[in-house]
């Protein structure tokens, strides 16, 4: 019985997340459109509201082309690895008090583990396609993810030290319901590092070198078509959502808000996650891309020392103030 | 019962993927098999209640070390099979050696004795969360070995830096 309930919960979460992913693409196209003084999608449905559904159906029924020289098994598996890893990390995210599939003690580490697994999908896609563009995209993504994962992990150590736990629900509870209790204030350096590392981890502008269209066509997913290409897309958007959720939980106080919304407890969580998503899209519409050596030097020479310094600082403050 | 089945599954998968990893001809596939192996090892840690170790196993081994292996494989050779001279020229000699090794390993099994019970039985670890238990032990009882390990790693990092930085001034001058 318990297993059945859990299964139904998983299905509901999956359906909701997939709808969110579909409409996140709409959200992005609309916002970028308006920022560039265009209308964005307008044709399908009222103000293009059915566009994501149309896109989904289209990509689902398109031919799934596998290049002749590709490593077929790896090529087929790569998008699935990506999507599965991203979806799995949703299991530990608390959307509201008690609204979590698996309330495990190492939630934060679990998400890191899954995001490092997702990078395998990208790397393998790049390698298995047997094309130089995808291969370069895969290599870039690999180096980028390894470098920025270090910075991201270290930036969250400050949060772990303040809350004294790795359990995401307890991290939110440790921040309390008040505005000043949010960890963004005592951990402002960590938030800065986390935010930049988050952009790089999800391969978003200005760090989207793995899929830099001006030099690499479409990067690691150049050879993919139809549903498998769409799966990479979904994985990227779920990745954005997971990272936004982590930012919300660790720095913005999770589901707590100025007043409680009793009909829909995760209200403030969703608002905060969408604020993060908006900033993601805003940055995409605003900033140009970094050069690769700049990306590496920011990661290793700026973010990691900053995050390490933040750990020492937090440790000292915690040791002296108790 | 479930734990036992899960252990059996993990054990079979670890042995199976381990065998596949050394027999597969494509090095990238072999690395992928090792990836699957690491996941099942993390599963074994979970059975023992060592959730922190399980997560770190995946983050460090699967997330960092194996990716570096892949990097090296990608940059060295792509799809070609790696061919090397046989270490032992006669196939039968090799078989005899491996059977002898296997027999001696199995013969050693009865001498295996369980270690002493520590301060942290399973129930205590679950109560305090594994992360805390590990941290407490590591930073109090085992602080000296921990610091020594840290020092050794620091030496390795400095050594790596020295080796990597060694040639840069001369190459710049030449160009």
**Whole-number pLDDT of residue B149:** 93
Which residues of chain B neighbour A165 with C-beta distances below 8 Å?
Answer: 129
B59–A116: do the CB atoms touch at under 8 Å? yes
CA distance between the termini of chain A? 46
Residue B123 — very low, low, confident or very high, per pLDDT cuts 50/70/90? confident
A120–B67: do the CB atoms touch at under 8 Å? yes
**Whole-number pLDDT of residue A321:** 82
Does residue B168 register a pLDDT over 60? no
What are phi and psi for residue B72, nearest 5 degrees?
A: -60, -45
**Percent of chain B at pLDDT exceeding 90:** 22
**Whole-number pLDDT of residue B101:** 94
Q: Which of B56, B138, B40 is nearest to A106 (CA)?
A: B56
Quick: pLDDT tens for A219-234: 777 888 888 888 888 8
A113, A142, A165: residue with CB nearest B71: A142
Q: Which of A112, A76, A95, A107 is nearest to A17 (CA)?
A: A95
Is residue B129 within 8 Å of A105, Cβ to Cβ? yes
How buried is A101 (Cβ within 10 angstroms: 0-12 exposed, 13-18 middle, 19+ buried)? middle
Which residues of chain B neighbour A120 with C-beta distances below 8 Å?
Answer: 35, 62, 67
**Whole-number pLDDT of residue A167:** 85
- Domain B1-80+119-125 belongs in CATH node 1.20.120.1200: yes
- Cα dist. A220→A38, A68, A145, A317, B99 in Å? 29, 17, 14, 44, 45
Which residues of chain B neighbour A74 with C-beta distances below 8 Å?
Answer: 28-29, 32
* A positions 127-186 inside 8 Å of B (CB): 127, 135, 138-139, 142-143, 145-146, 149, 153, 165-167
A139–B70: do the CB atoms touch at under 8 Å? no
For residue A257, the distance in angstroms to the closest alpha carbon of chain B comes to 29
Q: Which of B42, B48, B43, B46 is nearest to B62 (CA)?
A: B42
A149–B35: do the CB atoms touch at under 8 Å? no
For residue B94, the distance in angstroms to the closest alpha carbon of chain A comes to 33
A127–B28: do the CB atoms touch at under 8 Å? yes
Does residue A43 register a pLDDT over 60? yes
What residues contact A137, with CB distance under 8 A and at least 6 apart? Answer: A122, A126, A210, A211, A212, A216, A218, A219, A220, A221, A222
**Whole-number pLDDT of residue A322:** 66
B35, B59, B74: residue with CB nearest A127: B74
Residue B81 — very low, low, confident or very high, per pLDDT cuts 50/70/90? low
**Whole-number pLDDT of residue B175:** 46
Complex prediction ipTM? 0.80
Does residue B104 register a pLDDT over 90? yes
**Percent of chain A at pLDDT exceeding 90:** 3
Instruction: Name the token pair of A16.
Output: 């909701």
Quick: pLDDT tens for A218-271: 777 788 888 888 888 888 889 889 999 998 888 888 888 777 777 888 888 888
Scan for tokens 């290599």, then name that residue. Answer: A139
For chain B, which residues lie within 8 Å of any Cβ of chain A, measuring from their own Cβ?
A: 26, 28-29, 32, 35, 51-52, 54-56, 58-59, 62-64, 67-68, 70-71, 74, 79, 129-131
B130–A116: do the CB atoms touch at under 8 Å? no
B67–A116: do the CB atoms touch at under 8 Å? yes
- Residue B128 neighbours by CB distance under 10 Å: 14
**Percent of chain A at pLDDT exceeding 70:** 99
């Amino acid at each position: 019985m318990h297993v059945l309930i859990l299964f139904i919960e998983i299905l509901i979460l999956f359906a909701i997340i997939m709808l969110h992913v579909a409409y996140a693409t709409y959200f992005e196209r609309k916002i970028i459109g308006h920022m560039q003084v265009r209308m964005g999608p307008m044709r399908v449905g009222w103000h293009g509201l059915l566009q994501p559904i149309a896109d989904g159906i289209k990509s689902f029924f398109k031919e799934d082309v596998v290049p002749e020289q590709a490593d077929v098994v790896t090529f087929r598996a790569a998008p699935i690895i990506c999507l599965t890893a991203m979806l799995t990390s949703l299991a530990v995210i608390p959307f509201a008090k008690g609204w979590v599939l698996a309330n495990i003690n190492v939630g934060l580490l679990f998400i890191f583990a899954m995001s490092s697994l997702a990078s395998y999908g990208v790397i393998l896609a790049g390698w298995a396609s047997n094309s130089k563009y995808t291969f370069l995209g895969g290599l870039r993504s690999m180096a980028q993810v390894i470098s920025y994962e270090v910075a991201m992990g270290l930036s969250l150590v400050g949060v772990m030290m303040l809350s004294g736990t790795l359990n995401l629900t307890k991290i939110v509870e440790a921040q309390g319901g008040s505005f000043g209790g949010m960890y963004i204030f005592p951990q402002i350096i960590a938030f800065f590092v986390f935010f930049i590392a988050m952009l790089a981890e999800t391969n978003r502008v200005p760090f989207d070198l793995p899929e830099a269209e001006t030099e690499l066509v479409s990067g690691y997913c150049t050879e993919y078509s139809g549903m498998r290409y769409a799966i990479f897309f979904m994985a990227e958007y779920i990745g954005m959502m997971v990272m936004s959720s982590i930012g919300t939980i660790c720095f913005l106080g999770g589901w707590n808000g100025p007043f409680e919304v009793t009909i829909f407890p995760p209200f403030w969580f969703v608002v905060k996650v969408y604020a993060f998503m908006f900033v993601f899209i805003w940055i995409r519409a605003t900033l140009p891309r970094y050069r690769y050596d700049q990306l590496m030097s920011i990661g290793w020479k700026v973010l990691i020392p900053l995050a390490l310094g933040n750990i020492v600082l937090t440790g000292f403050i915690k040791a002296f103030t108790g | 019962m479930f734990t036992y089945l899960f252990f059996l599954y993990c054990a079979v998968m670890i042995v199976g993927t381990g065998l596949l990893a050394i027999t597969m001809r494509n090095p990238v596939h072999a690395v992928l098999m090792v990836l699957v192996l690491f996941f099942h090892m993390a599963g074994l840690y979970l059975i023992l209640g060592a959730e922190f170790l399980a997560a770190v196993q995946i983050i460090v081994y699967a997330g960092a070390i194996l990716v570096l292996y892949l990097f090296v494989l990608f940059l060295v050779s792509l799809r070609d099979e790696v061919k090397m001279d046989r270490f032992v020229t006669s196939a039968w000699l090799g078989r005899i050696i491996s059977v002898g090794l296997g027999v001696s390993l199995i013969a050693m099994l009865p001498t295996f004795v369980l270690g002493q019970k520590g301060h942290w039985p399973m129930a205590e670890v679950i109560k305090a969360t594994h992360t805390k238990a590990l941290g407490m032990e590591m930073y109090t009882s085992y602080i000296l070995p921990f610091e020594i390990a840290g020092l050794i790693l620091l030496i390795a990092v400095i050594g790596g830096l020295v080796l990597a930085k060694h040639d840069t001034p001369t190459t710049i001058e030449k160009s």
